[in-house]
């Protein structure tokens, strides 16, 4: 057995030695790669400063300085690994792991910063093409301005000002943006010639954004015409549907809410612009849909109320009185046997009392009267369950064969505890019957 464990220990030591050797090799390779990455990053920084200037390359310069500082620690650790002082395996392992960590961090940071610089350099190098595209797009958008003005003028004769305010000034706004984009391209070209690359990039970016916004504004004018036609078509369908709903409402329950909703829908129909006049199809469609939905909701509530009549206040109060009676019986039994009542009975009784508190405030309002009736019945149910569970706890906790048996608790003799509980349960049954009669 000792030979087995010795062999296993030697295998583990050999595996650990192989891992340590691999880690040491990775640390040396990481140091070489990081040193080379610092050199190439320095070259990239020099070229970027020549093209972009110092302000746009400060992040890469700061990152390069931080990497050089922290890699100094890595080289120091590597030197400690190869000095004349002997080291333990754990010390070598810890140093090599730290070297790998520092080198990986350095390369990741430099890759991130150089990628940003590369994008900026690409923008500067492609600036002539970008400026040419801005000017070409500006000319193309300028050619669309006359057609856009014609569209706005044609739509203005058909739709009301409230609908046209979305696009009334679109042609003028697009023309201003086109002019601004051309000016931005000219500024970018002058700044580029003056070696002010940061200002040149900013001017070119704003010019490109102005072109994008101008195109979106012109497209919105054409889209508005389509959306307005679609709204008019939908409005005709909603008008027909609304008139049909008004006719159908005659068969709905005759309640004030339905009559009021019908009147509102009729007023919305009467407020529609006459045929041939300038109208706002978007606003009219919204108003008509709102009135139509209100009528549907009123009819649905009226039909529900017809199928489920609202309980009277007297009915709810009677149900609440019955719940109070059952609560009183349960309270008396539980308070008289505090040490015998378990958690289930006390929990149901507490829930019933908590629910009972909010019921009086819900009785008078029609919106909550049904909820009040359901809550009072729930209180009665919880009180009955609490009473039943309390009686079970009392029966299970009562001593046996010591004069406390069935003869005294409803098992054989009459007039004892059994008659008391029988009277209590009989009262609950009678109360439930009366509740059903009055309901």
Tens place of pLDDT for every residue, the chain, 439 residues? Answer: 445 455 566 666 666 667 767 778 888 888 888 888 888 888 878 877 776 766 667 788 888 888 888 888 888 887 887 767 777 878 888 888 888 888 888 888 888 888 877 777 777 777 888 899 999 999 999 999 999 999 999 999 889 988 898 899 999 999 999 999 999 999 988 988 887 777 888 888 899 999 999 999 999 998 998 999 999 899 989 999 898 888 888 888 888 888 899 899 889 888 888 887 888 899 999 999 999 999 988 888 888 877 777 788 888 899 989 999 999 999 988 888 878 888 999 999 999 999 999 898 888 887 888 889 999 999 999 999 999 999 998 888 776 544 444 444 444 333 334 444 444 444 443 344 334 433 4
- Asked if residues 113 and 63 have their Cβ atoms less than 8 Å apart, the reply is yes
According to the model, what pLDDT value does residue 16 have? 65
**Do 26 and 85 fall within a single domain?**
yes
Strand-pair partners of 366: none
Strand-pair partners of 279: 159
The residue out of 251, 280, 307 marking a domain boundary is: 307
**Do 182 and 91 fall within a single domain?**
no
Least Cα distance to 386 among 336, 426, 346, 430 occurs for: 346
Q: How many domains does the chain have?
A: 4
Cα–Cα distance measured from residue 103 to residue 148, given in angstroms and rounded to the nearest whole number? 60
**Do 236 and 344 fall within a single domain?**
no
**Do 243 and 221 fall within a single domain?**
no
According to the model, what pLDDT value does residue 430 have? 38
Query: Residue 337: CB partners within 8 Å, gap ≥ 6?
Result: 390, 393, 394
Name the residue range of residue 224's domain.
127-228
**pTM for this predicted structure:** 0.52
State both tokens at 33. 């790669």
Could you tell me the CA-to-CA distances from 216 to 171, 212, 222 in Å, in that order? 11, 6, 10
The residue out of 125, 143, 177 marking a domain boundary is: 125
The CATH number of residue 46's host domain is 1.20.140
The residue out of 307, 340, 366 marking a domain boundary is: 307
Could you tell me the CA-to-CA distances from 376 to 123, 148, 356, 370 in Å, in that order? 75, 68, 7, 10
- Asked if residues 110 and 37 have their Cβ atoms less than 8 Å apart, the reply is yes
**Do 50 and 85 fall within a single domain?**
yes
Supply the DSSP string of 367-380, one letter for each residue.
HHHHHHHHHHHHHH
Cα–Cα distance measured from residue 211 to residue 208, given in angstroms and rounded to the nearest whole number? 5
**Do 24 and 81 fall within a single domain?**
yes
**Do 245 and 360 fall within a single domain?**
no
**Do 195 and 257 fall within a single domain?**
no
User: Cα-flanking dihedrals φ and ψ of residue 214, to 5°?
Assistant: -65, -45
**Do 262 and 278 fall within a single domain?**
yes
**Do 341 and 427 fall within a single domain?**
yes
CA atoms within 13 A on the CB side of 202: 7
**Do 18 and 54 fall within a single domain?**
yes
**Do 272 and 285 fall within a single domain?**
yes
């Amino acid at each position: 057995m000792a030979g087995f464990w010795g062999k296993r220990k030697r295998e583990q030591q050999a595996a650990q030695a192989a891992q340590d050797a691999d880690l040491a090799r990775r640390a040396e390779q990481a140091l070489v790669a990081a040193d080379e990455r610092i050199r190439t990053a320095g070259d990239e920084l020099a070229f970027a400063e020549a093209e972009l200037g110092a302000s746009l390359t400060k992040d890469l310069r700061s990152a390069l300085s931080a990497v050089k500082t922290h890699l100094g620690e890595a080289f120091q650790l590597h030197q400690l690994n190869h000095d004349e002082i002997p080291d333990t395996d754990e010390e070598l392992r810890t140093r090599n792991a730290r070297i790998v960590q520092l080198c990986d961090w350095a390369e990741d940071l430099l890759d991130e910063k150089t990628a940003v610089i590369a994008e900026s350099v690409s923008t500067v190098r492609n600036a002539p093409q970008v400026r040419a595209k801005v000017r070409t797009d500006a000319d193309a958008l300028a050619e669309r301005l006359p057609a856009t003005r014609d569209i706005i003028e044609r739509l203005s004769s058909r739709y009301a000002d409230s609908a046209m305010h979305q696009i009334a000034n679109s042609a003028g706004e697009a023309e201003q943006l086109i002019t601004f984009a051309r000016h931005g391209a000219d500024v970018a070209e002058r700044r580029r010639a003056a070696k002010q690359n940061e200002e040149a990039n900013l001017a070119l970016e704003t010019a490109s954004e102005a072109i994008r916004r101008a195109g979106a504004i012109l497209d919105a004018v054409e889209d508005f015409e389509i959306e307005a036609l679609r709204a008019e078509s939908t409005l005709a369908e909603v008008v027909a549907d609304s008139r049909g709903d008004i006719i159908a409402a005659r068969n709905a329950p005759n309640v004030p809410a339905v009559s009021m909703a019908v009147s509102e829908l009729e007023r919305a129909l009467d407020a529609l612009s006459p045929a041939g006049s300038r109208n706002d199809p978007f606003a009219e469609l919204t108003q008509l849909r709102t009135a139509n939905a209100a009528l549907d909701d009123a009819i649905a509530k009226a039909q529900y109320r017809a199928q489920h009549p609202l309980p009277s206040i007297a009915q709810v109060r009677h149900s609440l009185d019955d719940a109070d009676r059952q609560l009183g019986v349960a309270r008396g039994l539980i308070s008289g046997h505090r040490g015998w009542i378990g958690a289930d009975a006390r929990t149901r009784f507490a829930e019933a009392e908590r629910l009972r508190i909010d019921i009086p405030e819900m009785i008078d309002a029609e919106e909550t009267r049904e909820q009040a009736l359901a809550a009072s019945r729930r209180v009665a149910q919880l009180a009955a369950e609490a009473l039943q569970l309390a009686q079970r706890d009392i029966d299970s906790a009562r001593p046996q064969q010591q004069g406390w048996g069935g003869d005294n608790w409803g098992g054989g003799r009459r007039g004892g505890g059994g008659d008391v509980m029988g009277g209590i349960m009989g009262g609950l049954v009678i109360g439930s019957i009366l509740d059903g009669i009055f309901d």
